[in-house]
Amino acid sequence: MNEEYKEMGRAIGEVREEVGKFIVGQKEAVDLILFSILAGGHALLEGLPGLGKTMLVRTFSEVLDLGFTRIQFTPDLMPSDITGTSIIERMPDGGQRFVFREGPLFSEMVLADEINRATPKTQSALLEAMGERTVTVLGETRKMADPFFVLATQNPIELEGTYPLPEAQLDRFTSKILVPYPDAEEMKEIMRRTTGKKPPMLKKVLDAEGVRRARELARSVILPEEMLGAAVQIVMATRPDEGTVPEIGRFVRIGSGPRGLQSLIALAKSRALAEGRFHVSIADLRASAAPALRHRLILSYEGEASEISPDGLIAKILERVLSGVRS
């Protein structure tokens, strides 16, 4: 069994390597997307336009050999445009029948591009698919593909023409990943790869069955009782009435609930598997806390006015909670 974990760890390392042949830098974003996929969840990528978020997701679909669709979210996009709808089809005998035409949401990997440019009504159309892996149209429930991942991109909400994602929608994402500007050397390499010779051919490392097996192995990674206790304390400390970190009570209106704990543990297990280990460590919890919880901390008015960073608050929680926990 240990050998199977190590073998899968090597395969995951190969996925990272293949993605890195095309994507310059963004190591943290690459890792967190991969961990979210292994966790069986969804990821939200946030960054300014032109940073390669769309290409990053497309590259993953190629390396993992998964079906891929891209939905460009716009203010006039309707829910039926993504879920599909029933249409009237004429039969050869002259009769008519209703036939369901699947929307682009029916794919293994779905890129919801600039998701915060659509209205809340259309954003909410993703809720059932992301949470239940089903879509209900005209009273009929249809299952999504397996695996099924939504990898959404959004521009910062202060940009013109965007709609903040509602809390219920944010909570469906296993992780929120920040995509930063590339540095000078990375900019040079991006230019070499995009304005020079033909981009490298990507090898398909895993397929849908391989992803399903990796997901099963990630779920079976051992979570020691002490690590579970630490994860619970981290999530509890995000609540303003808990009192573990004074700044939380001052700057946070709503903290994380059980789904945040599920995401934290799932990402930590996926990270352990990617490292070829079969148990969760403190390092896994530390690395997974910010992406799992940053979008689940709803700041108070004072927190927003003070421009408090959720990542900074999470760092204080980790310092307080994990100081006495053995690795």
* Entry pTM: 0.85
Report the pLDDT value the prediction gives residue 282, as an integer from 0 to 100: 92
Residue 1 has pLDDT above 70, yes or no: no
Report the pLDDT value the prediction gives residue 167, as an integer from 0 to 100: 78
Q: How many domains does the chain have?
A: 2
Model confidence pLDDT, tens digit, residues 144-201: 888 888 888 887 665 666 777 777 778 889 999 887 777 777 677 777 776 766 666 7
Q: Do the domain assignments include residue 125?
A: yes
Q: How far apart are CA 276 and CA 285, in angstroms?
A: 16
Residue that finishes a domain, picked among 185, 219, 253: 219
Q: What percent of the chain is predicted at pLDDT more than 90?
A: 13
| Same domain as 211, residue 284 | no
| Same domain as 295, residue 207 | no
Report the pLDDT value the prediction gives residue 290, as an integer from 0 to 100: 92
Residue 302 has pLDDT above 90, yes or no: no
Q: Do the domain assignments include residue 82?
A: no
Q: Do the domain assignments include residue 238?
A: yes
Q: How far apart are CA 29 and CA 41, in angstroms?
A: 15
| Same domain as 157, residue 143 | yes
Mean pLDDT of the chain: 82
Angle between the N-to-C axes of helices 2-22 and 27-38, in degrees from 0 to 180, rounded to the nearest 10: 140
CATH number at 278 reads 1.10.8.80
Within 10 Å of residue 2's Cβ, how many Cβ atoms? Answer: 9
| 32 closest CA partner among 57, 7, 5, 68 | 57
Cβ distance 19 to 59 under 8 Å?
yes
Cβ distance 235 to 293 under 8 Å?
yes
| Same domain as 37, residue 21 | yes
Taking residues 256-272, report their average pLDDT. Answer: 92
| Same domain as 292, residue 225 | yes
Range of the domain at 264: 221-327
| Same domain as 305, residue 293 | yes
Residue that finishes a domain, picked among 219, 237, 260: 219
What does 36-102 look like in DSSP terms, one character per residue? HHHTT--EEEE--TTSSHHHHHHHHHHHTT--EEEEE--TT--HHHHHEEEEEEE-TTS-EEEEEEE
Q: Do the domain assignments include residue 64?
A: yes
Predicted confidence band of residue 307 (pLDDT cuts 50, 70, 90): confident
| Same domain as 197, residue 254 | no
| Cα 315-29-159 angle, rounded to 5 deg | 85
Residue that finishes a domain, picked among 219, 247, 277: 219
Q: Do the domain assignments include residue 101?
A: no
| Same domain as 197, residue 60 | yes
Q: Do the domain assignments include residue 274?
A: yes
Most confident range (mean pLDDT) of 117-126, 176-185, 270-279 is 270-279
CATH number at 9 reads 3.40.50.300
| 299 closest CA partner among 200, 167, 196 | 167
What does 206-242 look like in DSSP terms, one character per residue? --HHHHHHHHHHHHTSB--HHHHHHHHHHHHTTSTTT
What does 101-114 look like in DSSP terms, one character per residue? EE-TTSSSEEEEET
| Same domain as 266, residue 189 | no
Residue 53 has pLDDT above 60, yes or no: yes
Report the pLDDT value the prediction gives residue 199, as an integer from 0 to 100: 66
Cβ distance 238 to 258 under 8 Å?
no
Report the pLDDT value the prediction gives residue 108, as an integer from 0 to 100: 85
| Same domain as 148, residue 56 | yes
Q: Do the domain assignments include residue 38?
A: yes
Report the pLDDT value the prediction gives residue 151, as an integer from 0 to 100: 87
| Same domain as 233, residue 201 | no
Which has the higher per-residue pLDDT, 127 or 290? 290
| Same domain as 130, residue 50 | yes
Report the pLDDT value the prediction gives residue 267, as an integer from 0 to 100: 94
Residue 15 has pLDDT above 80, yes or no: yes
Q: Do the domain assignments include residue 84?
A: no
Which has the higher per-residue pLDDT, 277 or 271? 271
Most confident range (mean pLDDT) of 10-14, 63-67, 121-125, 236-240 is 236-240
Q: What percent of the chain is predicted at pLDDT more than 70?
A: 90
Residue 269 has pLDDT above 90, yes or no: yes
Q: How far apart are CA 135 and CA 253, in angstroms?
A: 32
